Amino acid sequence: MGRKSGTKTTLFFLLISLISLLAFAPVFAPLPSFSSHYSLSPRHRHHHHRKVVTSTVAVKPRSFEIDDDKFWKDGEFFRIIGGDLHYFRVLPQYWEDRLVRAKALGLNTIQTYVPWNLHEPQPGKLVFEGIADLVSFLKLCHKLDILVMLRPGPYICGEWDLGGFPAWLLAIEPPLKLRSSDPAYLRLVDNWWGILLPKVAPFLYNNGGPIIMVQIENEFGSYGDDKAYLHHLVKLAQGHLGDGIILYTTDGGSRENLEKGTIRGDAVFSTVDFTTGDDPWPIFKLQKEFNAPGKSPPLSSEFYTGWLTHWGEKNAKTGADFTASALEKILSQNGSAVLYMVHGGTNFGFYNGANTGVDESDYKPDITSYDYDAPISESGDVENAKFNALRRVIELHTAASLPSVPSDNGKMGYGPIQLQKTAFLFDLLDNINPADVVESENPLSMESVGQMFGFLLYVSEYAPKDDKSVLLIPEVHDRAQVFTLCHSEDNSRRPTRVGSIDRLSSKKLGLPNAKCASNISLFVLVENQGHVNYGPYMFDKKGILSSVFLDGSILHGWKMIPIPFHNLNEVPKINLIIEAAHSRFITVSTQRELKDKSVCLYFQGMFLKYQHSSLAISLSRMQTRFMILSYHSVVGVKGLQLLMILT
């Protein structure tokens, strides 16, 4: 009994001692990190003489900094070998597949834009689900140990409709001065970033996430010279993200672009882009002039692996060895680079942008594909010369061994496409909603009637005459198909196509003679082929933007009916504004549900449909435009849904 009593007394005093020790011991709460090891870098030992406190628990401070003209991640030298991969150009079920392939190329960082128009398609209507689920994309990058350079705009360019701006900005009166310190414009930017930036703040690197830098605007030096605007964006970003975040700008590698497009000093980190093949080091030397001393690690934030393609052009191609050799010149001297693009993806729906040439009339819409001749192709293929050449270069300048390269996903061909007539445009009559119809004495722009993408049907009428009439539309963006209809003709069930007018060529069109007992209805179906996303002509409204002249006189009295094609699984709700007494509609075909996994084609006012569980399409006519609206699959391209516009 005595022995047991002594043991209890000893345990009691040991317990008291342990409690006392814990009460005064420091509490360690390690921050989440990508690595479980910590070593103090020579930089920290030499420059900052930081006191190292040893303990039984290894704590790694989480930081991403710029010093000594180098990047420092968690106190150790770090080189960015990154690539642009835009979450909104890849379906969510393929995000991980594409990111894994980017890691196999040797990349440690992904750069992505955030398009305002995708997330706020209508004022106050916010979308952060599906392909717009930015938060899930950031979480996936973190899971895969990939850092992120975020480009939240508000302007992104990116060959994306209106450079990422919502087209409804163009409908605001008085007109906004986009990309400027215009107070009305800044209020909208403040509101948008007030929604967006708090969503991404938890994903900053110092907060345990993957985001190491956030871009301010994009290539502003190629557009304007408004320092008050840039300073406003810096203050706004810091207000939401904190002073510790690295903010950066990207500008073309010339003195003029940098003078106009960035802020000297340490408010932002000024990066450059330039033509692939240019000698990078004189440009990096120029870059240093616009950064504070010691704050200019050489970084090409857009190293072009390929180029964009406009409608009617051959697909842009860049040589594999040429591209790899240009990258070697940067990496061989400890420079950093972000491949633009590592994987281009697809401009789904009507989100493709457009460029202009020497003037506004030299309009060049971008194609639906954003393959960009990137090392990871639009379909995710990596078994190609460019991927292999770039990987060999990156592997030479990476200490750790690269992950193995996944095989290309399997593909199948499904034979000829059989098309089925679904409906004529002018036969569609489904739940007429008078609120969809806008009436005006003169034509209004698409944006003014709430139509941001797709088609807008303009309807008016004129008195018949014996001689041929001449229709003139001085300004139409971008392409108009013209139809006429005489209501008094017994066999006239649908309008007759007369021809087309577009912004690139003829503005006049002869209307045929018509012996008609009543007024003739005029239908002008205008297609928006993509808002201009770059250059001085970005204020690119769509639709009929001028008066319409018939035989030299202005034609008044217009009705406008939106045809957005947001979802081809839903029959468009269209009121053709043909007087009920004169209307002749076929409604049987419009009652059929447009099912998933279908292809709908619009051809001279007629809709065709192809339906298959899987689909592979080869187009031989470059003048055939098509918009990929959606597709759904676990493996391969299945359930592809297209809108084709044959001309």
pLDDT tens sequence across 143-195: 999 999 999 999 999 999 999 999 999 999 999 999 999 999 999 999 999 99
Predicted confidence at residue 13, as pLDDT, reads 40
Is residue 608's pLDDT more than 70?
no
Mean per-residue pLDDT of the chain: 82
SS3 482: strand
Distance CA(322)–CA(84), nearest Å, equals: 19
CA distances from 79 to 66, 67, 147, 403, 460 (A): 11, 13, 12, 18, 62
* Nearest residue to 298 via CA among 320, 315, 283: 283
* Nearest residue to 375 via CA among 384, 363, 366: 384
More confident residue, 12 or 456: 456
Predicted confidence at residue 628, as pLDDT, reads 53
| Token reading at 44 | 């920290």
Phi-psi region of 597 (alpha: psi -120 to 50; beta: other; left: phi over 0): left
Predicted confidence at residue 491, as pLDDT, reads 54
Please list, residue by residue across 559-577, b when 16 or more beta carbons sit within 10 angstroms of its beta carbon and e when fewer do. Answer: bbbbbbbeebeebbbbbbb
- 149 and 109 in contact (C-beta within 8 Å)? yes
Beta bridge partners of 502: 479
Predicted confidence at residue 550, as pLDDT, reads 95
Predicted confidence at residue 32, as pLDDT, reads 30
Which is it for strands 606-611 and 553-554: parallel, antiparallel or unpaired?
Answer: unpaired
Three-state helix/strand/coil letters over 117-147: HHHCCECCECCCCHHHCHHHHHHHHHHCCCE
Predicted confidence at residue 95, as pLDDT, reads 98
More confident residue, 432 or 330: 330
Interaxial angle between packed helices 134-143 and 183-200, expressed in degrees from 0 to 180 and rounded to the nearest 10: 40
Q: What is the DSSP string of 70-135?
A: EEEETTEEE--EEEEE-GGGS-HHHHHHHHHHHHHHT--EEEEE--HHHH-SBTTB---SGGG-HH
CB atoms inside a 10 Å sphere around CB 630: 18
Predicted confidence at residue 427, as pLDDT, reads 67
Is residue 43's pLDDT more than 70?
no
Local confidence band at 575 (pLDDT 50, 70, 90 cut-offs): very low
Least confident window among 313-317, 410-414, 540-544, 556-560: 410-414
More confident residue, 361 or 377: 377
| Token reading at 138 | 């950031």
Is residue 520's pLDDT more than 60?
yes
Is residue 16's pLDDT more than 50?
no
Mean pLDDT for 502-515 is 84
* Nearest residue to 81 via CA among 307, 406, 400, 317: 400
More confident residue, 472 or 576: 472
Instruction: Please identify every residue annotated as catalytic.
Output: 219, 302
Is residue 618's pLDDT more than 60?
no
DSSP 419: P
| Token reading at 269 | 């980190």
Q: For a pLDDT cut of 70, what percent of the chain falls above it? A: 76
Distance CA(486)–CA(494), nearest Å, equals: 9
Which is it for strands 606-611 and 420-424: parallel, antiparallel or unpaired?
Answer: antiparallel
- Which residue's entry shows tokens 């605001």? 172
Is residue 255's pLDDT more than 50?
yes
Distance CA(113)–CA(24), nearest Å, equals: 49
Q: Provide the CB-side half-sphere exposure for 218 (13 A, CA).
A: 26
The reply to whether omega before 225 is within 30° of 0 (cis) is no
pLDDT tens sequence across 457-494: 999 999 988 888 999 999 999 999 999 988 776 555 67
Q: Pinpoint the alpha helices (H) of 332-489.
A: 385-396
Residue 461's contacts (CB-CB under 8 Å, 6 or more residues apart) are: 519, 520, 521, 522, 557
Predicted confidence at residue 58, as pLDDT, reads 57
Amino acid found at 561: I
| Token reading at 376 | 């990871």
Q: Provide the CB-side half-sphere exposure for 177 (13 A, CA).
A: 8
| Token reading at 153 | 């705009």
- 305 and 338 in contact (C-beta within 8 Å)? no
Mean pLDDT for 337-352 is 96
Is residue 533's pLDDT more than 70?
yes
Q: What is the DSSP string of 249-313?
A: EEEESSHHHHHHHS-SSSSSEEEEE--TTS-HHHHHHHHHHTS-TT----EEEEEESS---BTTS
Distance CA(138)–CA(133), nearest Å, equals: 9
Is residue 198's pLDDT more than 60?
yes
**Range from 9-23, 29-43, 277-291 that averages highest in pLDDT:** 277-291
Is residue 600's pLDDT more than 70?
no
CA distances from 644 to 242, 313, 346, 599, 600 (A): 47, 18, 15, 8, 7
- 336 and 330 in contact (C-beta within 8 Å)? yes
* Nearest residue to 645 via CA among 608, 607, 602: 602
Residue 42's contacts (CB-CB under 8 Å, 6 or more residues apart) are: none
The reply to whether omega before 341 is within 30° of 0 (cis) is yes
**Range from 53-62, 71-80, 463-472 that averages highest in pLDDT:** 71-80
More confident residue, 620 or 172: 172
Local confidence band at 506 (pLDDT 50, 70, 90 cut-offs): confident
Predicted confidence at residue 505, as pLDDT, reads 81
Distance CA(115)–CA(515), nearest Å, equals: 52
Length of the chain, in residues: 647
Local confidence band at 5 (pLDDT 50, 70, 90 cut-offs): very low
- 423 and 589 in contact (C-beta within 8 Å)? yes
Least confident window among 140-144, 257-261, 596-600: 596-600
